Structure 1
Amino acid sequence: MGVPGATARIDRPRRAVAMMVFVVFLDLVGFGIVVPILPYYVRSFGVGDVFIGLLAATYSLTQFLAAPALGRASDRWGRRPVVTLSLAGSAVAWTVFGLGDAVGEVAGPAAGVAVLFGSRALAGAMGGNIAAAQAYVADVTPPERRAGALGLVGASFSLGFIFGPAIGGALASETAVRLASSLPIPATRFSLPAFGAAAMSLAALAVTLVALEEPSRRRSTGERSSLVADFATALRDTDLRGFVVAFFLVSVAFAGVQVMFIPFVADTAAYRFDASAAALLLTYVGVLGAVNQGLLVGRLAKRFGSARLAVVGAALLAVALAALPFAPALGGFLPPVGGPAWVTRELVALLAVLAVLSAGNGLLNPSLATLVSSNASAETQGTAFGVTQGAGSLGRTVGPPVAAALYAVADWSPFVLGSVVVLPVIGLLIEAVRRR
């Protein structure tokens, strides 16, 4: 696909990376704000929980369709215009999402649910801007520092999911609704978090317009291609094909586990966690992810290389997924644990497994992104990231409903299947190490 590793010209590359990471962080905080209220929002319309899964699939499906197009557009027209457009679209999507219950009161529950689906479809399409953000970071970062810079983008994801749900919970509280009741907006426990997410997108848009500089680089001048054509081109390219498949498989495994993790810790006799306790677990995983991707990946990649790091990350992820449903049994092999009564051996075992899972995911994702960048030419970075992000979105569309169906049969099965799905990724990455 051309000469990889070329860096675009920009006056202050470190500042440019910091600004883009901050923009992604603000955008992901907005996404995380809505996470705590989403299931309850759907249920408020009197529909079944299946609509929760369908709503999540709608977001991922439109992200799958849009990510390659946005990545390709960023190659041709620039990273900054695409990020600007997508953030403005996200602000509109979250605002409309917050109006769903008001529409439902006037036009009926079916209309309200339709508003939710329409807004989530738009939000998913605009969520494809991550491809442009990754391409921007790759543009302004030399190859030897690219893994660390892309790791910071991954860390911003983790930080967004640490702060976002906490803000969303606060905005959904009775106190927040009471304080906002005098404002000229629909103030409910569902609308306020959605409007908060819109505000975060607008804040990210302001930072982009004021502080984000477009790098000077060679632009793609090729003819417009289709989603199918982009994927076909990537799958024919021996340097990119394995990474596209890897993004898909990892997303299938990880998205399925994310969806069923909360039901697992709520249903398992050794835990019986409520929503607050489960949220603390997610915060724990998010903090570990931020540390792994923000501090460790860059240093380790310089010493061992991104390909080897990706292999280790995939192996750790496979082990952790297989061990997760058996954490209560593994806790039985640990010595007695002192401290408060709630600190049990089963909990310690679960925290250890989650630490391995976070380490595996933290090493794998930025390393995969770095490998994609190093195998794409300077003018096709956005297209390459768009295709791989599209493959990831497709995996996040497939994984949750499959995992939910398996969980109904046997609670351990989605986790073990996730581990099995990751095994071919290890083989693909070992082949990448061999070629390099």
Structure 2
Amino acid sequence: MLETKRALPILFAVMFFVMVGFGIIIPVLPFYAENIGASPTQLGMLMAVYSLMQLLFAPMWGRISDRIGRKPVIMIGISGLALSFFLMGISSSLWMLFAARIIGGFLSSANMPTVMAYVADITTPEDRGKGMGVVGAAVGLGFVFGPAIGGVFSKISLSMPFYIAGVSSLLTFFLVWFLLKESLSEENRGQQDSKKASLWQAMSGSLSILFMLQLFISLSLSGLEATFAYYAAKKAGLGTVKLGYIFMIMGLAGAFVQGGLVGRMTKKFGEGFVIQIGIVVSAIGFGLILFVDSFTTAAIFLTIFGIGNGVIRPSVSSLLTKTSTAGHGSATGLLSSVDSLGRIIGPPLGGWLFSIAIGLPYISGIVLSLIALVLYRFYTKQSQKNPSIG
């Protein structure tokens, strides 16, 4: 499809710049909040409130995009992100920082589900995995380059990265405004709204199993992200610079696999095969992490995990948009909400397990991966019994 060839590079750029802006503030926010007077507990709440807003409102924005179109909702999300960055940059008290994070979480929760719904609109079922992989690759690369940029500009001042992120978001807004065409015609909006089932009805049955699967994957990933720095320091004496390199290597490898291999694999073998392979490789990665003893082993083992984990979300997104009757935006919105729930629960759960035994978050990651694999097998059996629901 010619439309797909034109739109996918634009969507890649949009999500790349969105995630670069988001990533820029990651290394700076803890120190910035501390300077304003935030305690460690308040810092945790500051991080959690953003994910909470994503959890609550991503399904709403996905549903709205099914009714009014993708482009306006993407523009709302990006403008909200820009506003929140500028508000954080001028914050002089903790309440202002919380307000900025709440506004940013509320509005920017429109971005991911709507972009994924856009991909579902413009791709054939055979190429759906490729499109979702391209979005995943953009997200991964944005997280690689964003924190590095934020670290550089933080040397000028702690507020500078927020202004840089705000400008990046504004440029992305204009990129969408001028270059991205609407993917959902007015006629299709009307048809989707009249024919589709209610959100919760359409997400019941076998499809609910896919959401549970994604929740366990998100839990295991966020638990690792919250504890790996401490784990690598204890096991291999790695500092922040080397950890930065390790996560960069993992991000680049994951982006390469998502952007290049996911589409080919899903087209040849189907999403189900890729999901199961991804879960198995993730579990192997978790197991290998228990044997980290140097920079090299940490980089290799974490990259193995990252490659496995990275192919799961695009494949689940592709499968959901093919089988759900609730509209592409509603399906991807609920999936983003489930992801956010995992990111709220995962870090404190991982930290608690780490306090008991430093290898426990990764052992639990193996267990969660195996549960996800069993869930997928159960989903397959349920779908075969009743093909109409999944």
4+ long deviations beyond 4 Å: 222-225
SS at match of 1:298: helix
SS at match of 2:51: helix
Aligned AA for 1:247?
Q
Deviation at 1:13, TM superposition (A): 2.1
Matched, 1:358 2:339: no
Pick closer, same or farther for the CA change 1:244–1:169 going to 2, 3 Å: same
| Rounded Cα–Cα distance in structure 2 between residues aligned with 1:292 and 1:265 | 25
Q: Could you say which residue in structure 2 is the equivalent of 1:286?
A: 251
Q: When you count helix as a share of all residues, which structure comes out higher?
A: 2
Q: Could you say which residue in structure 2 is the equivalent of 1:213?
A: 181
| Rounded Cα–Cα distance in structure 2 between residues aligned with 1:234 and 1:247 | 17
Aligned AA for 2:167?
A
Matched, 1:132 2:114: yes
| Rounded Cα–Cα distance in structure 2 between residues aligned with 1:151 and 1:294 | 5
Relative to the length of structure 1, the TM-score reads: 0.82
For each residue in 1:217-244, what CA deviation from the matched residue of structure 2 results, as whole angstroms up to 9, or x when unmatched?
411335999xxx84x4355232x21111
Aligned pair count? 378
SS at match of 1:131: helix
| Rounded Cα–Cα distance in structure 1 between residues aligned with 2:351 and 2:184 | 46
For each residue in 1:355-375, what CA deviation from the matched residue of structure 2 results, as whole angstroms up to 9, or x when unmatched?
210121122111111111111
For each residue in 1:233-263, what CA deviation from the matched residue of structure 2 results, as whole angstroms up to 9, or x when unmatched?
355232x211111121111111111111112
Q: Is the contact made by 1:162 and 1:287 (CA closer than 8 Å) also made in structure 2? A: yes
Q: Could you say which residue in structure 2 is the equivalent of 1:324?
A: 289
Q: Could you say which residue in structure 1 is the equivalent of 2:387?
A: none
SS at match of 2:261: helix
SS at match of 2:97: helix
Aligned AA for 1:245?
M
Aligned AA for 1:150?
M
Q: Could you say which residue in structure 2 is the equivalent of 1:416?
A: 363
Deviation at 1:22, TM superposition (A): 1.1
Residue 96 (structure 2) aligned to one of 99, 104, 115: 115
Deviation at 1:11, TM superposition (A): 6.1
Q: Could you say which residue in structure 2 is the equivalent of 1:37?
A: 28
Matched, 1:254 2:233: no
Q: How does 1:257-276 map to 2 (within 5 A)?
A: 257-268=224-235, 271-276=236-241
| Rounded Cα–Cα distance in structure 2 between residues aligned with 1:224 and 1:297 | 29
| Rounded Cα–Cα distance in structure 2 between residues aligned with 1:60 and 1:203 | 24
Quick check: 406-415 or 14-23, which moved more? 406-415
| Rounded Cα–Cα distance in structure 2 between residues aligned with 1:58 and 1:411 | 27
Q: How does 1:95-114 map to 2 (within 5 A)?
A: 95-100=86-91, 103=92, 112-114=93-95
Q: Could you say which residue in structure 2 is the equivalent of 1:71?
A: 62
What is the aligned-residue RMSD (CA, Å)? 2.0
SS at match of 1:236: coil
Aligned AA for 1:136?
Y
Aligned AA for 2:354?
Y
| Rounded Cα–Cα distance in structure 1 between residues aligned with 2:260 and 2:31 | 36
Q: Could you say which residue in structure 2 is the equivalent of 1:148?
A: 130
Pick closer, same or farther for the CA change 1:267–1:47 going to 2, 3 Å: farther
Q: How does 1:83-94 map to 2 (within 5 A)?
A: 83-94=74-85
Q: Is the contact made by 1:297 and 1:363 (CA closer than 8 Å) also made in structure 2? A: yes
Residue 320 (structure 2) aligned to one of 364, 367, 372: 372
Relative to the length of structure 2, the TM-score reads: 0.92
| Rounded Cα–Cα distance in structure 2 between residues aligned with 1:192 and 1:292 | 33
Q: Is the contact made by 2:232 and 2:292 (CA closer than 8 Å) also made in structure 1? A: no
Deviation at 1:124, TM superposition (A): 1.8
